[in-house]
Amino acid sequence: MLCCNKLLAADRPNIVWLLSEDNSKHFLKLFDEHGAETPNIADMARHGLRFEHAFSNAPVCSVARTTLMTGCYAPRIGSQFHRKSQVVPLPGDLKMFPAYLRAAGYYTTNNQKKDYNAEESADVWDESSRSASWRNRKEDQPFFHMQSFAQSHESSLHFDRQRMESGTQTSTQSVFIPPHHPDTPLFRFTYAHYLDRIGVIDRQIGNVLRQLEGDGVLEDTIVFYFGDHGGVLPGSKGYVNERGLHVPLVIRVPEKWQDLVGRTNGQAATGFVSFVDFGPTVLNLAGVDVPDEMDGRPFLGPNTSADEVDSRNEAFGHADRFDEKYDLVRSIRLGRWKYVRNYQPFNFDGLQNNYRYNCLAFQEWRTLYQQHRLDTIQRQFFETKPVEALYDLASDPYETQNLANSVEHTDTLLRLRSRLQQQLKAWPDLSFIPESELVEDGFANPTEFGAKNQQRIAKLIDIADLSLLPFDEAQAAILQAIESDDALQRYWALIAATSHGDAAAGLVSVVRKTSKEDSNRLVRTRAAEFLALVAGDDPSDVLKSVLSESESGVETLLILNSLVLLKDGATQCNIPFSSQWVTEAAKKQQEVQRRIEYLSP
């Protein structure tokens, strides 16, 4: 049973969330020396708190916003795919957190973006629209208001060459180009243009603060400003690096509510907070009990202490499907250390995503790679990834030097690897079940499905982690899994084998048999993928066969991801693809259409 604590309605703070879309902390001078001046947001920090370590758990909007609304890790509740193939129900009786505020007497409004992957009950918002505001509440009624600003969205970088002629307010010569990007006029313009957009965001934040002040409620209101996830320069949005996950967070705290935060205004909070924590924090500030089904923990309000919050030093990240592009990457940040686990390392980061490549800088980056005009760091985006990576962010903030093979850092590597494995099994992580199977069997009740399949998922994670061993140590277990009665054990065994690359060439004869005879289309796809990448076999017949058999748009999308990988990756397979390979039923999937558009001559 949820209830208010001892705070009376008249004694509860108003709470406002102001979200800028698609920007990491790197673009505000308040957080990074290379960022834009944001005087309004900086003024909020002087009258409140700046959080130095705030993280989205996912580097894309629908997954991140669902996490904000639910307080749950997306891979646990089945909301991890962008864009959703199916809206999923929430665990048990859980609702999105504003519903609990409404039940406690708050007026809740959203202006206006939702973009959720989970079911929204009818009692979440009093109003959600372009005109939604706190102004329509009852007299003296406390309110929660959420407002999004799209001027920093990824689409703001989808300009044409003609736009570049009009220049930017920010000097293109003054911008900092991080080591992963080429230093070209186009990239300089793109950075400068985006810094200009951050200036627009700051002015809009200032406008809302003045509206609150004009309405006489600013000093009764705790105001959060944060990015809705990282981004959006190429290689950030959609990726679990710091540029995709590390967001700016500033919270303005009126003197009236200082006792709720336990800090002095103007301080920097150093503890780690993640999007799973934001909803529980609002409930706690409002005096509402946090539901047990939520994963996050409050970092402000009653029963929290500044010292305890500042001792928190752990954050998890996850990346799955983004539009038509599949991958499976997990990360953990523990203090200065960042561990990244690439479960399908052959899925290089620069794999085609039609929407991403609307950006001219994305296009130029790939062209320069194809022309062999990038340095070693800049090339990494288009090449096979390491199975695991370890970064020391204190000395390497842009994650360019992988320390995973450093003997000096073995203990740190094993500690973070083990902690991540423990967390994925505990959720359990539903992404180890292919999305097409979740659509068929799991999305009706994802958390119940996860509980029933927890041991199975743990086994699949163990099979996937065979790629962490030297191949001679992993070979017997991979072969055993390839011969399993469980199709998903065979599926992950083939992915682990492919991750070993040329070292796994001894499996070719076994996998050739699997590619022809296995009853599962995705297993045959992964077998064909292995044979093309490791043995140079032509995958066309297998891929044509499995596509022509599949009536599932999601399954077809998984198969087409492998086809694009083989076409554009290091193997450069000459696959004579025809849209006639794809069934009419599968073509109804929008993302399938995007792949067909890209693959068709």
Catalytic residues: 61
- The span from the CA of 371 to the CA of 385, in Å, is 20
From the list 70, 67, 36, the residue with the least C-alpha distance to 54 is 67
Taking a C-beta distance cutoff of 8 angstroms, is the pair 524, 515 a contact?
Answer: yes
Q: Which two tokens stand for residue 524?
A: 């045959």
CB distance 170 to 195 below 8 Å: yes
User: What whole-number distance in Å separates Cα of residue 226 and Cα of residue 220?
Assistant: 20
Kindly tell me the number of DSSP H helices and DSSP E strands found in the chain: 23, 12
- Whether cis (ω within 30° of 0) applies to the bond prior to 91 is no
Which residue has tokens 């399908």? 344
Asked if 318 and 58 touch (Cβ cutoff 8 Å), the reply is yes
Nearest of 436, 481, 442, 485 to residue 459 by alpha carbon: 481
Burial code of 190-216, b = ≥16 C-beta within 10 A, e = fewer?
A: bbbbbbbbbbbbbebbbebbeebeeee
Q: Are 308 and 324 in contact (CB under 8 A)?
A: no
What span, in angstroms and rounded, lies between the C-alpha atoms of 416 and 429?
17
Q: How far apart are CA 22 and CA 65, in angstroms?
A: 12
CA 269, CA 347: separation in Å to the nearest integer? 37
CA distance 58 to 1: 30
For 540, the token pair is 């066309």
Q: What are phi and psi of 223, to 5 degrees?
A: -115, 125
Q: At a CB cut-off of 8 Å and minimum separation 6, what does 581 contact? A: 543, 544, 547, 548
The answer for residues whose C-beta is within 8 angstroms of residue 441's C-beta and 6 or more apart is 449
Whole-angstrom Cα distance, residue 224 to residue 207?
Answer: 14
- Contacts of residue 20, defined as CB under 8 A and 6 or more positions apart, other chains included, come to 148, 149, 151, 152, 198, 201, 205, 225, 226, 227, 228
- Residue pair 457/468 in contact (Cβ under 8 Å)? The answer is no
At residue 180, φ and ψ (nearest 5 deg) are -80, -10
Q: Return the closest-CA partner of residue 250 out of 190, 192, 216, 209.
A: 209
Angle at 81 between CA 450 and CA 271, to 5 degrees: 80
State the burial class of residue 384 (Cβ atoms within 10 Å of its Cβ: 0-12, 13-18, 19+).
middle
